[in-house]
Amino acid sequence: MTRRRITIKDVSALAGVSVSTVSRVLNASGPISEETRKVVMQAASDLKYQPNPLARGLVKNQLGGVGVLIPWLGGPYFCSFLEGVQDVVRDTPFRMVISSEQAVKEKEAEALAYLLENDADGVIYYGDSLRPEDIAEINPLGKPVVLLGQPVTDSYPCVAIDDEVGAFLATRYLIDNGHRQIAHLTGDAQQHVTASRLSGYRRALDQAGIPFDPHLIVHADYSEQGGYRGLQHLLGRAVDFTALFCGNDQMAIGAYQALREFNKQIPEDVSVVGFDNISFAQYMHPPLTTVQVPIRSMGRVAAQILIGNIEGQEVFPAPLEAELIIRRSVLRR
């Protein structure tokens, strides 16, 4: 049963009007008598007519996609972000088109160019390999772009929580619980998120009069594996610490593993705080105290802003807050 697709012509024929009339009623453009409107609507629904998005896009000069460029498709954090994007895209005529390139700058540039060229009327970019200048170059048509994961700029709308404050909260909580030797397991030093969270950590230390000790900092790569290796490294160094602040939950997962292998009890020997509050965090043993990032909401907001921009409106994001979720991975000393 390879029946031909119903076109606007079929509708116009059945309704006994011209195609432009059909177009007008379907798009509510131009004046239409109530009479013909009804006839056309009837015909359209009788035939189950669905406009061909290609033809429509061709004349309207719209590709119809909301591009999403993220570093990784797998992994709990970015998946939740996508869920948020989809929450809003679902209710629009746009489709979500995803691309992920492991945060490799050249590949991301290519992917972004491809999206803008072939699929999307605007792009949500979560990453910081490509800076606004790079993006401008890739985006000659000046399509809307929304940024996440990099410093807020004027060039493009950005959605972000305050990582510095989140990290400050986490670290201060550890300090308030009597810890003074607090290690920080973090990601690639080049990344903006790394810098922000590190500076929140330092501010909390400063404020409590605790000197900053560079030996307590380990850089890894924000993965479980990275956290595991990073912590092994730290435990190998001859530095004492009673608490560990992890740059994200995935690294905390790896850290737990390394800690266990070194026979360190959590939280008796080492207290741990994470960042993100991925869903696994509450099922860790012990359940992980962490900073909640409203990642799904961030996806929603990003999509709202982008689609608004595509449609020529200015959209102002609702403010998003990071919040400390207290569970059982921190011990008062």
Partner DNA sequence: GTGAAAGCGCTAACAG
Partner DNA sequence: CTGTTAGCGCTTTCAC
In the complex, which residues of this chain contact a second copy (CB under 8 A)?
Answer: 1-3, 5, 50, 52-55, 57-58, 63, 65, 73-76, 79-80, 82-83, 86, 90, 95-100, 117-119, 140-142, 224, 253-254, 256-257, 260, 279-280, 283-285, 296
User: Token match 């920080």: residue?
Assistant: 184
Beta bridge partners of 184: 217, 245
Among a second copy, DNA, none, what does residue 283 contact (CB within 5–8 Å per kind)? a second copy
Token output for 271 = 């207290």
Q: Which of 61, 214, 240, 332 binds DNA (CB under 7 A)?
A: 61
Task: Using the Cα atoms of residue 210, residue 212, residue 215 and residue 216 in order, give the sign of their dihedral.
Answer: positive
- The gap between the terminal CA atoms of the chain, to the nearest Å, is 73
**Cβ-based nearer residue to a second copy, 21 or 100:** 100
- In the complex, least distance from residue 64 CB atom to DNA, rounded to whole angstroms: 12
Q: Is 56 in the site for DNA (CB under 7 A)?
A: yes
Q: Which of 1, 2, 3, 31 binds DNA (CB under 7 A)?
A: 31
What distance separates the 2 farthest-apart alpha carbons in the chain?
86
Q: Would you call 162 helix, strand, or coil by DSSP?
A: coil
**Cβ-based nearer residue to DNA, 48 or 332:** 48
Q: Where are the alpha helices (DSSP H) in 141-248?
A: 163-176, 192-207, 224-236
Q: Which of 13, 51, 199, 233 binds DNA (CB under 7 A)?
A: 51
- In the complex, least distance from residue 222 CB atom to a second copy, rounded to whole angstroms: 14
Q: Distance between CA 97 and CA 113 in Å, rounded?
A: 13
User: Token match 């008598």: residue?
Assistant: 33
Of 40, 33, 48, 42, which is closest to residue 19 (Cα–Cα)? Answer: 40
Task: Tell me phi and psi for residue 290, to 5 degrees.
Answer: -155, 170
Q: Which of 45, 46, 58, 83 binds DNA (CB under 7 A)?
A: 58
Angle at Cα 327 formed by Cα 260 and Cα 245, nearest 5°? 60
Q: Which of 60, 237, 285, 333 binds DNA (CB under 7 A)?
A: 60
Q: Which of 17, 159, 246, 258 binds DNA (CB under 7 A)?
A: 17
Q: Distance between CA 54 and CA 96 in Å, rounded?
A: 16
- In the complex, least distance from residue 23 CB atom to DNA, rounded to whole angstroms: 3
Among a second copy, DNA, none, what does residue 117 contact (CB within 5–8 Å per kind)? a second copy
Q: Is 155 in the site for DNA (CB under 7 A)?
A: no
**Cβ-based nearer residue to DNA, 4 or 332:** 4
- In the complex, least distance from residue 89 CB atom to DNA, rounded to whole angstroms: 20
Of 94, 132, 93, which is closest to residue 112 (Cα–Cα)? Answer: 132
Among a second copy, DNA, none, what does residue 285 contact (CB within 5–8 Å per kind)? a second copy
Q: Please report how the helices 34-46 and 19-27 are oriented relative to each other, as an axis angle in degrees rounded to 10.
A: 90
* Options 31-39, 119-127, 244-252, 283-291: segment touching DNA (CB under 7 A): 31-39
Q: Is 26 in the site for DNA (CB under 7 A)?
A: yes
Q: Would you call 42 helix, strand, or coil by DSSP?
A: helix
Chain residues in the site for DNA (CB under 7 A): 4-5, 7-9, 16-24, 26-27, 29-33, 35-37, 49, 51-52, 55-56, 58-61
